[in-house]
Copies of this chain bind each other. A is one copy, B any other.
Amino acid sequence: MLLYGVMAMTTDVWLNETLYPDWGQRFLVTRELARVKSPFQDIVIFESSSHGRVMVLDGIIQITEGDEFVYQEMLTHVPLLAHGNAANVLIIGAGDGGVLRRVLQHREVQRAVMVEIDGEVIRLAKQFLPGIAGSAWDDKRAEVIVGDGIDYVKRAPDGAFDAIIVDSTDPIGVGEVLFTDEFYANAARILTGRGLVVNQCGVPFMQADELRETSARRAKFFPHVSAYVAAVPTYVGGFMTLGWAAKDATLTRIAADTIRARAEAAGVLGTTRYWTPEIHVGAFNLPPYIAQHLPG
């Protein structure tokens, strides 16, 4: 795969994201830190002057030090505070540890199981992106498993978790199996009655199929399927969507004041740079160009 384009008449090295064949973002590379071919994917970590350090999997930007807070806060705090008392949380993917750190910020969390298939992502994140997870790896409530998330949900007991957070790549490559019927059937089974699952559903302006198809799939196993939005700088193309599947219809309609009180009790209020109670509530109001892709 051609990761580096070379600009005419300059020796600058630019990394061109290869997510779309005809449009994308590019970063001026200050220094390459790692380039590893794991059993699952090509991993590149480089330094940029615009976004700090950046991790790239199979040519697609996964995380940057500069804007990771947007995605991590919205992927974590929204489901946990909508639930209100999530003691047992399962994280699939998220090998950089950023979601784990945000989950463990919540005082009510007693156990956070993280299942990442690619041990190299964890190893390289610890070495080159230590600020993303902070001390989360050492938290006694954290259980980090290098293994297959599909397999984990198949074997987990009924009702074992209050929330499942899927921080996967797009449904191509290694992440594809995380968007199957089998995965969602098991997710529904291992969640409690108030349980919910969230997962990243791409940027609908460019990848509307992703939201449409995975929402239809979630709707087979959960009575309440929706999505909420976040404007993540390096997931370019306007709002990205985070898919929502719950057994309890009320979770998306909790008032901002209640969310604020829960965030304060959880120890999260005031620690965020993107998430607020009002943004939490407002994120479920979808623009029509996105809402049209959800099951009627």
Contacts and interface: CB of A to CB of B under 8 A. Distances in A.
B282 A276 contact: no
Interface residues of A, number: 51
- This protein's copies in its complex: 2
Contacts of A294: none
A113 interface: no
A23 B9 contact: no
Contacts of A231: 229, 231, 238-239
Interface in A178-199: none
B273 A282 contact: no
A232 B238 CA distance: 5
A254 to B, nearest CB: 15
A24 B276 CA distance: 28
Contacts of A49: 22
A287 interface: yes
A24 B272 CA distance: 26
B282 A287 contact: no
B288 A20 contact: no
A122 interface: no
A34 interface: no
A25 B27 contact: no
Q: Which of A16, A279, A281, A287 has the most CB of B within 10 A?
A: A287
Interface string A238-266: 11000000000000000000000000000
A131 interface: no
Interface string A5-38: 1111110001010001111111110000000000
Contacts of A205: 66-67, 233
Nearest to A50: B23
A50 B238 CA distance: 14
Nearest to A273: B289
B27 A51 contact: no
20 contacts: A6-B7, A7-B16, A23-B26, A23-B28, A24-B25, A24-B26, A25-B25, A25-B26, A70-B238, A203-B233, A206-B233, A229-B231, A231-B231, A231-B239, A232-B238, A236-B236, A273-B287, A273-B289, A275-B287, A278-B285
Interface of A: 2, 4-10, 14, 16, 20-28, 48-51, 66-67, 69-70, 203, 205-206, 229, 231-233, 236-239, 272-276, 278-279, 281-282, 285, 287-289
Closest 9 CB pairs of A and B: A282-B282, A23-B50, A22-B28, A278-B285, A233-B238, A231-B231, A273-B289, A274-B287, A231-B238
